[in-house]
Structure 1
Amino acid sequence: MLPQENWPEGHNIKADNLVQYLENREDFNCVKLNWSTGIIICTKK
């Protein structure tokens, strides 16, 4: 999830928190792809 110009003020903090939350979950495997606006694919272990 790459920052976008049309995001409302403060949305980048919410997006960063979500990414951090997903990456820290021990029951998920996550992969971030730098494509278009960014993609995060998570699967349950």
Structure 2
Amino acid sequence: MGWLRDTFPEPVDDSTKVKRIRYARAYIFEILRVYLMPDKSRNLVI
């Protein structure tokens, strides 16, 4: 998910609490999407 990485880049040391929470949520979503719900269609068009 390129959009997710572009929208939520790694937080810097002086980021606000809200930005760190948003990054954590995006990171958790990425983990769920990649490991728990993989795309098994392998982009095949039927």
Bigger Rg, which one:
2
TM-score range, shorter chain: 0.3 to 0.5
Comparing both structures, which one devotes a greater share of its residues to strand? 1
Comparing both structures, which one devotes a greater share of its residues to helix? 2
